[in-house]
Amino acid sequence: MTKKGTKIKEKLVNGLGKMRRIYKVYAIPWHVRKKLKGRIGECKRCGACCRLMFDCPALFFENGLACCKIYDKRSKVCRKFPIEPRDLKDRDLINPYTPCGYDFTK
């Protein structure tokens, strides 16, 4: 696949992932709570989840760490990321070299 084709595929995958998380967080929150029980680790502030599909305008970096201009008002979807292992796969398309600080036991 060409570089352009790969970029388009990446945007499509991340667009679908974004819609999936919005649906899950707002329509089936009990499912999200269940999934999060299997999540371990903590955010390393790499910022990859703030660059899915496009770079969030609220994202900035300070001393190499991702920061959010609207941290206290950020959406539930931002707060819950990652919900399940496939979110990590989406996020790895953006930053395959540094893993997310979270992982899943199931």
> Residue numbers of the site for ligand SF4 (CB under 6 A)?
43-50, 56, 58-59, 66, 68, 70, 74, 78, 81, 91, 100-102
| Distance in angstroms (rounded) separating the CA atoms of residues 10 and 5 | 9
Using the minimum distance from each CB to ligand SF4, give the nearer residue, 31 or 45. Answer: 45
13 conformational bin, left if phi > 0, alpha if psi -120 to 50, beta if neither: alpha
Q: How far is the CB of 60 from ligand SF4 (least distance, A)?
A: 8
Using the minimum distance from each CB to ligand SF4, give the nearer residue, 20 or 44. Answer: 44
Q: How far is the CB of 2 from ligand SF4 (least distance, A)?
A: 27
Q: How far is the CB of 45 from ligand SF4 (least distance, A)?
A: 5
Q: Write down the number of H helices and E strands in the chain.
A: 4, 4
The answer to whether 75 and 59 are in contact (CB under 8 A) is no
